[in-house]
A and B are shown apart, each in its own frame.
Chain A
Amino acid sequence: MRKRVALGLALLLVAACSSGTPAAVPRRPVSAPSPTAAPLVYAAVGASETAGIGAQDPRSQAWPMVFYDTALPPSAVMYSFGVPFETTEAALNGEVPAALAVDPALVTVWLNVDDLAAGVSAADYEARLGQLVHALRRGGATRVLVANTPYLDHLPLYLKCRSGGAGCPFAGPVPAPDQLNAMVDAYNAAIARVVQREGAVLVDLHAAGEVPDEHPDWVSPDGFHPDAAGYVQIAARFAAALSASG
């Protein structure tokens, strides 16, 4: 059963959430960064969506770049560590040490869909995510924003694979929507507990609902990654969470 769910989830990387106005990436009004100010160091830890997969131009349209460009001060420096197919376990060995090496004051973490796809249980995921967030928090020296898992069951590629349509890149059975949603809920509960325990900030992407139904234009042509407009909305979610956390 778990294997089926895992296999099916491999189809499902993230779609955009939230509501709002999709548009081209808004550029920050020009204001000169101070040449002498100590820069705020921001590190983005994550998987394919952090790397901007699905955007026409990942280098400029990935959500961390949009977040950096719209929500952080001009003197901020961003390190984007996103690697496609990255699980939390892999990030603990690769992205986390690299992120800690740059001494970040702010870290965003979005790692869950690839763990789901890899069949990692919610308990194991919680343990690994807890270890990851604990390391990044550095005793409270770093503010850490952790995104939960959005709805995945209405993504075009998931639906295509469920219907057995041609073009599904994954072999094997695909989990039913209720199974998938149960896994997502379990993961999100784990994420909420880790955030609470480590003093991190939750970025609630799941609260945006079934985004593919409401905003199909926020989903990229691959059917499961956000496109540039979707990434703008995700960046806005992170920015709102950062702002609300003070």
Chain B
Amino acid sequence: MRWSDAVTLALRGALRRPVRTALTTLGVTLGSGLLVALAVVTTAADTKVLDRLGQGNPLTTVRVAPAQPRPGQLDSDALQPGAPHDLTDAALASIRRAPHVTRVVPIQTSRVAELSDEGGLSQDWIIGTDMTQVSTLPITLLAGRWPAANSLTEVAATTDYLFKLHIDGDKPRQALGHQVTLTSPRIAAGDTGPGQGRSYRAVIVGVVGQDLTDGDFIVPVPQVVQSRQWEQGGAGSTQFPVNGSPYAGAVVVASSLSDVHTVRAELYGMGYATSAPEHLVASVQEYLGVVNVVLGSIGSVALGVALLSIANALLAAIHERRRDIGVLKAIGGRDRDVLRWFLVEALAIGLAGGAAGAVAGVVIAELVGVAVNQYLVAHDLGSLDLVGVPVVIPLLGWLGTGLLAVIAGGLPSLQAAHLPAREAVVEA
């Protein structure tokens, strides 16, 4: 018997009892659909919840401060800074060479007087960093765009600066296009006046929310480097010290979540205080793991019941088709031909039910995601968009259901295959 003959026989057999076949397929659909929906929801939820913990940044980031760590630093996610410890180019090079470190993004700051195009004057800091690496940093673009990486005239304002422009925090776009004159002060030797200054004009091209350090503007590296060079040329004073750490901090990216603690330990050994949500993430992962096991078990039970219904349907079909089996064997059909016939029938039901289940599961997951998000927003709990399905889950659900259907149909099919021809015909 060829495969095509087996398929034809299987389809005819299935269509001989359409209601039973439909109900069996529906059972498989429900079981696989539930499992796919739970898998999609839990996977998406895990990802989104962990993203939330990372505040939009990779969870493998470790923040480094220019300070010695306190003894309990590694037991805490939060920064435990002790005495100042300059973060230098040499230190950054050592960190880059450390095992499990994939990236190091340094941060520099410079004190500035800010004169807005509306005439308001204030004092704060500019924060300089590599604009090509901002995705690594705890900075979120709220409006506009990032300054060009080497620009000397473009800046991104932080939400703190919006208030100085009297702009509502909900309308960050209003800050775009504003111009600000930034003046870096320094004190010359013997200067008793207000100090010397290096001034340049910049236009606000973006507005960001940031959790790096205090500052009104995120600027490209060349701007902060020039400002710091100017500062360092002064004589220094208590108001404008010139011997601070060259870098205000750094963000270090570990190669994986499991390497975060190793990297922090390495930095601790180098004498730097760090922060990373490693303990929080581990706790959340534990809870999410328990939830996943429970939900997976529920889905698996449902799918198991559906597969048992396939076995049951096949047993009933075999009983009804004993004559057919006998005739097939009488005209030369072998055991494996009968086995192939019923396995193909089980596979067909499994694939049909699995396909419908995968689609239904995705739809259910999307609806759950929308409902959860609406609930969170309605209760001022922020938004957690669960929509977004990894394609691999419904695909695996479909193929897995087909495979499990074949396994479930294995015993009845073997029973049919081993039925003697004479016995089959006589009993029928």
In the complex, residue of chain A having the shortest beta-carbon distance to the beta carbon of B226: A77
Give the residues in chain B near A57, CB-CB below 8 Å.
Answer: 121
Pick the contact of A80: B152, B154, B199 (CB < 8 A).
B199
- Given A32-B179, A83-B188, residue A59 in contact with residue B197 (CB < 8 A): yes
Give the residues in chain B near A28, CB-CB below 8 Å.
Answer: 117
A245 within 8 A of B: no
Contact B196 A25 (CB under 8 A): no
Query: Which of A48-56, A109-117, A147-155, A157-165 lies at the interface with chain B?
Result: A48-56
A53–B197 Cα gap in the complex (Å)?
14
Q: Give, as a whole number of angstroms, the nearest-CB distance from B142 to chain A.
A: 20
Number of A interface residues at 8 Å Cβ cutoff, please give it: 39
Contact B191 A35 (CB under 8 A): no
B183 within 8 A of A: yes
Contact B201 A59 (CB under 8 A): no
Give the residues in chain B near A52, CB-CB below 8 Å.
Answer: 193-194
Interface residues of B in 176-212 (CB under 8 A from A): 177-179, 181, 183, 185, 188-203
Give the residues in chain A near B183, CB-CB below 8 Å.
Answer: 59, 65
- Given A32-B203, A39-B200, A75-B201, residue A59 in contact with residue B189 (CB < 8 A): no
Scan A64-78; emit 1 where CB is below 8 A from any B CB, else 0: 010011000011111
In the complex, residue of chain A having the shortest beta-carbon distance to the beta carbon of B190: A83
Give the residues in chain A near B197, CB-CB below 8 Å.
Answer: 59, 65, 78-80
Give the residues in chain B near A81, CB-CB below 8 Å.
Answer: 188, 196
A-B contacts counted at CB < 8 A amount to 105
Contact A77 B199 (CB under 8 A): yes
Contact B152 A35 (CB under 8 A): yes
A22 within 8 A of B: no
Number of B interface residues at 8 Å Cβ cutoff, please give it: 36
Q: Give, as a whole number of angstroms, the nearest-CB distance from B356 to chain A.
A: 56
Q: Give, as a whole number of angstroms, the nearest-CB distance from B328 to chain A.
A: 81
Contact B153 A30 (CB under 8 A): no
- Given A30-B179, A57-B121, A83-B191, residue A75 in contact with residue B153 (CB < 8 A): yes
Q: Give, as a whole number of angstroms, the nearest-CB distance from B198 to chain A.
A: 5
Pick the contact of B192: A34, A36, A74, A84 (CB < 8 A).
A84
Scan B273-294; emit 1 where CB is below 8 A from any A CB, else 0: 0000000000000000000000
Give the residues in chain B near A140, CB-CB below 8 Å.
Answer: none
A residues near B (Cβ < 8 Å) are: 24-25, 27-28, 30-36, 39, 48, 51-53, 57-60, 65, 68-69, 74-85, 94-95, 98, 101
13 contacts between A and B (CB under 8 A): A28-B117, A31-B179, A32-B177, A51-B194, A59-B115, A65-B181, A69-B181, A75-B153, A77-B199, A78-B199, A82-B196, A84-B192, A94-B189
4 shortest A-B CB distances, which residue pairs?
A35-B151, A33-B153, A84-B193, A51-B193
